[in-house]
Chains A and B, each alone.
Chain A
Amino acid sequence: MGQIDLGDISKSYDKQKNVLDEINLSIEEGEFFVLVGPSGSGKSTLLRMIAGLEDITSGTLKIGDEIVNHLPPKDRNLSMVFQNYALYPHLSVEQNILFGLNAKKVDKEEQQKRLIETTEMMGLSELLKRKPKELSGGQRQRVALARSVVSEAPLCLMDEPLSNLDAKLRGQMRMEIRRLQKRLGMTMVYVTHDQVEAMTMGDRIMVLNDGKIQQVGKPITLYNEPANLFVASFIGSPKMNMGKAVFHADRNQLVIDDALHLEIDPVINNVPRYPNVTIGIRAEHLFPGTAGNTTHTIEVINVEQLGNETLVAFEVGAEVWTAKWPGQWDVQVGEKVPVHIAIENLCFFDSDTGLLIKPARAGKQQEVVTA
């Protein structure tokens, strides 16, 4: 039995279209669970329903083994960190951290004990007497975290807690939150729109779009075997390269967007026979071609030098594809460059339903190696 169980949870406002549609999900105890999706996908609404800040239109929500649909937030034994931190501007850091404990009438000695423990762990001991406006963004974030840690609730909800921080600090806080969660063993439900955050932090990820679950799974599974076109394009940076593909059995050729021709050995590779197929290939699977294995020559339309890797963009039909090559490559815009595209690196999707037909084999192999 998971710690949180959602059964057919739906949400609609004013009897209109469902914002969330029959969500079935179970979150394990001690798990770092990430809800990810574009804005308006309903991920924050779902989190707020778990917190009890939003009514549940239909379905059952269980925390532990108890149905909590109609319990007020305070009786759900959870803590929450908000995007804007929700610190009380008129209270000092210390008062802010102890605010919830006062409301719950925890005795003073216990409060002080927890305060000292938590602030030492979070490195806030020096700042206790300051007001929130005298703190930097990262410090405010830490105070908000400390407030939720000090409550010792077994379940912690986070609503895009890092989106107000700059990129560098975000990376650092990402690690801190992750370490904290592991150390305290709490169950964490974390909402973000940033797929990098989702990939790096989550034990499991749920991708949400338009109020519907797209896929639930481990980060690496989502990356290697995206359940549909939406997950494929949402997870991973740069995003997966896609194109419509037509299989010509007579020539043993796969034609992508009327532009790329791939030779196929029908004996080894069983290409799915669907009328409308979309293929996807990860940027790192578009290898630079060597004398022996070059399959195509492409014309470069943009180059991004990242230092440790090079992103090369080129056109395939109407789409722009990106190849990610490790190391530094001296490539100029307009240059013709050899690449190696292998059929086993292609993911096949049904264009009509968007569902995955066949994942890339190379990805799977990697998983076995790293496991």
Chain B
Amino acid sequence: MTIPTGRKVIFYILLIISGFLVFAPTLMAFAMSFMSNKDIMTGSLPTSLSFDNYVRAFGQFPLLKYLLNSLIISLVIMLGQLILSSLAAYAFVFLEFKGRDLLFFVFIATMMVPFEASIIPNFHIIRDLGWIDTYPGLTVPFFAMAFGTFLLRQNFKQIPKELREASQIAGMGDFKFYLTVVLPVARTSLLTLGVYGFLTSWNMYLWPLLTTTNDNVRTVQIGLKQLQTQEQLNDWGVIMAGAVIVVIPTLILLFLGQSKLQKGLTEGALK
């Protein structure tokens, strides 16, 4: 790149400023989680920093229980999505049947229906099944995922047909081929989809709010909201401490995922 130094400096200054602006709320939340309520309310600089808010966040609410619930639900959704999407994508790529492409387009078309539109029928089904306040009620409706199937289908399409044919000649069935060849070859995409699915379900708010009525299965996002409304005066320090705790798993996953993703991408496929 041949950008003059002067212009480069300006670019970087602008980038730093905008980066700071975008990140400012997070920084503020992080700082506030260590400050006393008095300092926060008066808007002054912190006079003392302490972990009091964190201790109180865990003490006042079953935060650990919420975190555990969120973790279980996100993991189950992630696995369910990976299994169903990859199986569906396999069928759309490697199995030949009449109307396959039409079916695929219909399948993809469901992406245009926003989740909010299907919330009421979904809720009715879950209620009639008696799944309110249960893990299945929170997870099963998210297993079928048009986007995931689409993503994996595109990826599986890049696997040469000859690999399937070679395995056919070797006498390998569809399911074994799926397990021993397709999944390992497409692991980068599976990882991407997994991270995506996990984060989406971790941050899910509306559905858990509707289908949970007690702390046993409630997720951390709902818990956070409760922090805000249970007291007359909002205890912002505790809320921010809770928020920071909630963000941590997300960040860990992103960092881990990123390094893995890069590894997977650089490995490359054999043309």
A: residues with CB less than 8 A from B are: 51-53, 72-75, 78-80, 82-84, 86-90, 99-100, 103-104, 132-133, 147, 151
- State the CA gap A41–B203 with chains docked (Å): 57
Number of B residues contacting the other chain (C-beta, 8 Å)? Answer: 19
30 A-B pairs, CB-CB below 8 angstroms?
A52-B169, A53-B165, A53-B168, A53-B169, A72-B168, A73-B171, A74-B170, A74-B171, A75-B171, A78-B169, A79-B169, A80-B165, A80-B169, A82-B166, A84-B162, A86-B166, A87-B270, A88-B163, A89-B269, A89-B270, A90-B185, A99-B166, A99-B167, A100-B169, A103-B167, A103-B170, A103-B171, A104-B170, A104-B171, A132-B270
**Residues in chain A near residue B168, CB distance under 8 A:** 52-53, 72-74
Tell me the smallest distance from the CB of A310 to a CB of chain B, in Å: 40
Tell me the smallest distance from the CB of A321 to a CB of chain B, in Å: 41
Apart from A74-B169, A84-B162, A86-B166, list 11 A-B contacts with CB within 8 A: A51-B165, A52-B169, A53-B165, A74-B172, A80-B166, A86-B165, A89-B269, A90-B184, A90-B185, A147-B166, A151-B170
**Residues in chain A near residue B167, CB distance under 8 A:** 99, 103
Decide yes or no whether B124 CB sits under 8 A from chain A: no
Tell me the smallest distance from the CB of A262 to a CB of chain B, in Å: 52
- B98-132: which residues lie under 8 A (CB-CB) from chain A? none
Which residue of A has the minimal Cβ distance to B185? A90
- B188-234: which residues lie under 8 A (CB-CB) from chain A? none
- State the CA gap A90–B171 with chains docked (Å): 19
- State the CA gap A80–B161 with chains docked (Å): 14
Contact string, B147-168, partner A, CB cutoff 8 A, digits 1/0? 0000000000000101101111
Tell me the smallest distance from the CB of B184 to a CB of chain A, in Å: 4
- State the CA gap A40–B32 with chains docked (Å): 72
- State the CA gap A272–B167 with chains docked (Å): 55
- State the CA gap A88–B270 with chains docked (Å): 8
**Residues in chain A near residue B13, CB distance under 8 A:** none
Tell me the smallest distance from the CB of B22 to a CB of chain A, in Å: 39
CB-contact partner of B185 in A89, A147, A151, under 8 A: A89
Q: Which 4 pairs of residues, A with B, have the shortest CB-CB distance?
A: A74-B171, A100-B170, A86-B162, A89-B270
Instruction: Kindly name the residue among A53, A78, A147 whose own CB sees the greatest number of chain B CB atoms within 10 A.
Output: A53
Tell me the smallest distance from the CB of A162 to a CB of chain B, in Å: 16
Interchain CB contact under 8 A, A103 and B165: no
- State the CA gap A83–B162 with chains docked (Å): 9
Decide yes or no whether B59 CB sits under 8 A from chain A: no
- State the CA gap A342–B269 with chains docked (Å): 58
Interchain CB contact under 8 A, B170 and A82: no
**Residues in chain B near residue A53, CB distance under 8 A:** 165, 168-169
Instruction: Kindly name the residue among B160, B170, B185 whose own CB sees the greatest number of chain A CB atoms within 10 A.
Output: B170
**Residues in chain A near residue B172, CB distance under 8 A:** 74, 103
Which residue of A has the minimal Cβ distance to B269? A89
Which residue of A has the minimal Cβ distance to B187? A90
- State the CA gap A90–B180 with chains docked (Å): 10
CB-contact partner of A51 in B169, B171, B270, under 8 A: B169
Interchain CB contact under 8 A, A100 and B171: yes
- State the CA gap A104–B270 with chains docked (Å): 25
- State the CA gap A89–B160 with chains docked (Å): 11
CB-contact partner of A133 in B176, B185, B268, under 8 A: B268
Which residue of B has the minimal Cβ distance to A132? B270
- State the CA gap A147–B269 with chains docked (Å): 20
- State the CA gap A75–B165 with chains docked (Å): 14
**Residues in chain A near residue B181, CB distance under 8 A:** 88, 90
Tell me the smallest distance from the CB of B189 to a CB of chain A, in Å: 13
